[in-house]
Amino acid sequence: MFSSEEKKAYMQAAFDQANLAKEQEEVPIGAVVVGPDGEIIGRGYNHRELDQDAVAHAEILAIREACQKLGSWRLIDCSLFVTLEPCAMCAGAIINSRIKTVYFAALDPKAGAAGSVVDLFSVEKFNHHPQVIRGLYREQGAQLLKDFFREIREKQKAAKKAAENCQTD
């Protein structure tokens, strides 16, 4: 088990990843995988628009890097920290990679597959059931997304206004 300080540091590392996404105008979602000895062995942030790749979610990229680092597709005794509740694809990847514990910040009421829309981690028939810690730094995760979408709306408004001004010049 991690101490509060450790959990805070790992989730902050996930937020650092999310901020890298934000800097590149991607929806700010970040994730890290923590290995059995407490070292961060995988990092990822949402790259969907940058790569035009439907699969390039933060969790997938962090999991792939961790597999590469360990030289194994089984991430036994590893934890994943992510700033938003995983979608079905990422929850499936977490199950497939045998990650032991998942910590996530904001809830995703539209696509969350760890309790909000479906709960894939509690499907009895699946062969792996990670422990799930919900809502660690939930407000911080939600605020990051709210700010991002507000900024996008403001930019769109400004662009529209500029276009209208051009037409009336």
CB burial of residue 58 (10 Å; 0-12, 13-18, 19+): buried
In the bound state with a second copy, the residue whose beta carbon lies nearer, of 7 and 87, is: 87
Measure the CA angle with vertex 140, ends 76 and 137; round to 5°. 45
Q: Is 39 in the site for a second copy (CB under 8 A)?
A: no
Considering CB under 8 A, how many residues would be counted as binding a second copy?
Answer: 40
CB of 61 to a second copy, least distance (A): 9
Residues 79, 34: Cα–Cα separation, whole Å: 5
CB of 12 to a second copy, least distance (A): 25
Query: Look-up: residue for tokens 């497939």?
Result: 96
Single out the residue of 41, 75, 105, 106 in contact with a second copy (rule: CB under 8 A): 75
Q: Which one, of 139, 7, 2, lies nearest residue 77 by Cα?
A: 2
Set 5, 59, 139, 154: catalytic member: 59
Assess whether 39 carries a catalytic annotation: no
Q: Which residues pair with 80 in a beta bridge?
A: 33, 102
| Residues annotated catalytic, as ranges | 59
Q: Which residues bind a second copy (CB under 8 A)?
A: 48-49, 51-57, 60, 63-64, 67-68, 71-75, 87-93, 95-98, 110-111, 113, 117-118, 120, 123, 125-127
